[in-house]
Amino acid sequence: MKKIVLAVFFLSNIISSQEKIIDTLQGTKQNLDEVIVKGIRAKFSSPISYSNVYKKELGEKNLGQDLPILLNFLPSVVTTSDAGAGIGYTGIRIRGVSPQSTNITINGIPFNDAESMGTFWVNLPDFTSSIQNLQVQRGVGTSTNGSGAFGASINILTDGISENPYAEISSSFGSFNTRKNTVKFSTGKINNYFELSGRLSKIDSDGYVDRAYSDLKSYFIQGTYSKGSTLIKALSFGGHEKTYQSWYGLTLDQINENRRQNPYTYENEIDNYKQDHFQIHWNEKLNTFWSLNLGLNYTDGRGYFEQYREGDDIETYGGIVASDTNSNGDKVGTTDLIRRRWLDNDFYVFNTSLNYVKNKIDLTFSSSYSSYTGDHYGEVIWARTLSNNGKIRDRYYEGIGEKKDLSFFTKVLYSLNEKIELYGDLQFRNVKYNTSGLTSDLVNMVIDQSHGFFNPKLGFSYKLKPNSLIYLSYARANREPNRTDYESNPDIQPERLNDIEFGWRYRGQNLSLNLNSYFMLYDEQLILTGEIDDVGNPKRTNSGSSYRIGLEIENLLKITDLFSLETNMTLSSNKNKNIFSMVDGSLFNYGKTNISFSPSFIGSNAIIYNPSEKLKLSFLSKFVGKQYMGNTDQPNSILESYFVNDLNMTYLLKPKRVFQSIAVNILINNILNKEYISNGYYYTYDDTWSIPGQTKTLDGAGYYPQATRNFLAGLVFRF
């Protein structure tokens, strides 16, 4: 069966990963909107593996699910959802690289949380509705702003200027009581210079997992001024999310009993967080050759995670709560309580980019500075027994994290002749991270770390024909640990990567083909251990020497005017060279093992029927091979392979009155009703053994079951 699946995947490809325009150094012009991200994006002749995704493609499936789920069919991508239905807390891994090591930018502004380095898409619900286009770069990619791309980056460009006024109302509904309602508008250009546009969205879903509901609100508003060679954009966007927790997962026994159950029973076991972003961008074409881009950003985030704790140790709460007593009146040292763990953070960014284009040279000078402050604290909002000095909402821990990030890079593209284009990219980055105060475990956390990184990149492309080229590149990347890494191990080290990419691109009338091979050689890679902490954050550790070697194949084949086949696949080997772990009290060398969460085969397939401009039917398939959730190749750490199929239909009506258009979108996920698991965690622990005085190392695992057959359907009215 697996051989048949592999053969089917080898015959086809996915359209969202294909270039729509062949852009070379002498090629297409970019509008002022696109200049915002020009400095960090790759193009057809760049010696980098990438995929472009456009508004139209995202809109066909934008029915409430988070952006990572909509990118599921791109090369080397694996996605997951805690609640099982793609709404709420979702995640994306590219080439097996964790979200903490994937760089995300919005209009060139870093989106990754500066301390955790994670990307929490739940904070920006329905952000897809405000995306003009995005580019996913695999490998180190081009230099970018923020924490380094350590295997992948996603840079997003928000809505461009609309020349004409419009209003848009979209509404969708589906399984698990899912509902999405969105209102968008644009004034079009007023007096040829000004435009105001905006969006309001509300998403609700009960989730596939019991009680794993999502209550999500978001907004986007943008004002632009455009005249001649000047573009000024001021925009604000944000969201407010309330999600019931389902990060704990299930054991295999629980899955066999009821795969939709949720271990949490407290009615308000929720995450409640708000995040607002404010950006200003100024693009100016100074003359024929020079252009300037300035960007400012302020992000304000605040919220908490609420938990009910039964029989918790009173020592954890710094004297706020008092001990319960047993039936004999004796103190037991524990009590029941409800706590909130807060994060209140501020993030400032200033970006500059200067671009020079003349004849054979395209030169970019760029800099970025960011400053982050995060206030971490916990409070008790109810307790069965308070101490004499304790008060409700007293803080039982408080700590501050501060991070400053300064980077400069210079990038040059030079056409040596009509066939050869050279690429060079030098980045210098300095990071300072300081913490003070206590962690949630009442441990004093004092970190004073400074890192200076030099990240060179170089390569070339050779044009075989006007629509075909080969390329080769080398890139160096360095990346600092995050807060959770330091909490687990104060001596943890930065990770380093040497990335070599070699590929071939072809664009024909009926066939597009990308072949890319990569050799990612790591030193002290921060790999996922498989474990999670007590609020669901994944733990990482240095792995010494490791590597990821793979081949990515993409193709788009137009069979007839009605049918096309689109496929991508990734074949890879992902290994730790030496892994050491404690077993039964002794240090054991497992030797060469598989890197956690890194399947050796990932494939996507699309069969598209497009009989007219109005109707499009797509049958989408996704295969993800076996993964290990830990790094010791233990049988209990295996996530089995899965093969899932979706059906997507879009139909466009153009009435003669009232509405400019009415779009009907239907998405049936997992149409064959497959029971599968896309994510989990793995841990080891010492247990008392039958022989007195000895212990035995045991292991356990948790799993996140994904939804069986479900649907989403929606209407988009534009007028």
The confidence score (pLDDT) of residue 11 equals 37
DSSP category for residue 596: T
Q: At 274, list the tokens.
A: 């708000």
| Neighbouring C-alpha atoms within 13 Å toward the C-beta of 541 | 16
- The secondary element (H helix, E strand) that includes residue 55 is helix 55-59
Task: Indicate if the alpha-carbon torsion angle 121, 451, 152, 104 is positive or negative.
Answer: positive
pTM here? 0.92
Pick from 579, 622, 575: which is nearest to 600 by CA? 575
Residue 288: exposure state from Cβ atoms within 10 A (0-12, 13-18, ≥19): exposed
Point out the residues of the chain with pLDDT beneath 50. 1-28
The confidence score (pLDDT) of residue 31 equals 61
CA distance 551 to 518: 6
The confidence score (pLDDT) of residue 100 equals 86
CA distance 21 to 44: 8
Pick from 603, 590, 600, 609: which is nearest to 684 by CA? 590
Q: Find where tokens 């080290």 sit.
A: 493
Q: At 674, list the tokens.
A: 């497959």
* Residues in Cβ contact with 677 at an 8 Å cutoff, skipping those fewer than 6 apart: 255, 639, 640, 642, 703, 704, 705, 706
2-328+344-385+393-416+423-718 has which fold? Answer: Maltoporin; Chain A (2.40.170)
Q: How far, in whole angstroms, is CA 171 from its chain's centroid?
A: 25
Q: What is the distance between the terminal CA atoms of the chain, rounded to a whole angstrom?
A: 49
CA distance 394 to 555: 59
Residue 614: exposure state from Cβ atoms within 10 A (0-12, 13-18, ≥19): middle
Pick from 649, 651, 644: which is nearest to 667 by CA? 649
Residue 418: exposure state from Cβ atoms within 10 A (0-12, 13-18, ≥19): exposed
Q: Find where tokens 């990619």 sit.
A: 141
**Hey, where are the domains in the chain?**
2-328+344-385+393-416+423-718
The confidence score (pLDDT) of residue 692 equals 56
The confidence score (pLDDT) of residue 358 equals 92
Residue 175: exposure state from Cβ atoms within 10 A (0-12, 13-18, ≥19): middle
Any idea of the CA torsion for 461, 496, 92, 348, to the nearest 10 degrees? -100
Q: Which residues pair with 272 in a beta bridge?
A: 242, 304
The confidence score (pLDDT) of residue 9 equals 38
* Residues in Cβ contact with 410 at an 8 Å cutoff, skipping those fewer than 6 apart: 363, 364, 365, 366, 425, 426
Q: Are 527 and 495 in contact (CB under 8 A)?
A: no
**3-state SS assignment for residue 360:** coil
Kindly report the backbone phi and psi dihedral angles of residue 55, in degrees, each rounded to the nearest multiple of 5, phi listed first. -55, -45
- The secondary element (H helix, E strand) that includes residue 254 is helix 252-257
Q: Are 557 and 511 in contact (CB under 8 A)?
A: yes
* Residues in Cβ contact with 9 at an 8 Å cutoff, skipping those fewer than 6 apart: 567, 569, 603, 604, 605, 621, 623
Neighbouring CB atoms inside 10 A of 256's CB total 9
* Residues in Cβ contact with 523 at an 8 Å cutoff, skipping those fewer than 6 apart: 495, 496, 497, 544, 545
The Cα diameter of the chain in Å comes to 90
- AA identity, residue 172: S
CA distance 651 to 585: 63
- AA identity, residue 129: S
Q: At 281, list the tokens.
A: 């961008």
- Give the Å distances, CA to CA, from 653 to 162, 616, 711, 716, 717: 21, 12, 22, 10, 10
DSSP 202-232: EEEE--SSTT--EEEEEEEEEEEEEETTEEE
**3-state SS assignment for residue 716:** strand
Q: Would you put residue 213 in left (φ > 0), alpha (ψ -120 to 50) or beta?
A: beta
CA distance 410 to 59: 35
Q: Are 525 and 492 in contact (CB under 8 A)?
A: no
DSSP 69-85: HHTTTSTTEEEEESSSS
CA distance 96 to 106: 23
- The secondary element (H helix, E strand) that includes residue 57 is helix 55-59
CA distance 49 to 335: 55
* Residues in Cβ contact with 586 at an 8 Å cutoff, skipping those fewer than 6 apart: none
- The secondary element (H helix, E strand) that includes residue 10 is helix 2-10
Q: Are 67 and 127 in contact (CB under 8 A)?
A: yes
Pick from 354, 380, 197: which is nearest to 290 by CA? 354
CA distance 495 to 545: 10
Q: Which residues of 120-136 are buried (b: 16+ CB within 10 A; e: fewer)?
A: bbbbbbbbbbbbbbbbb
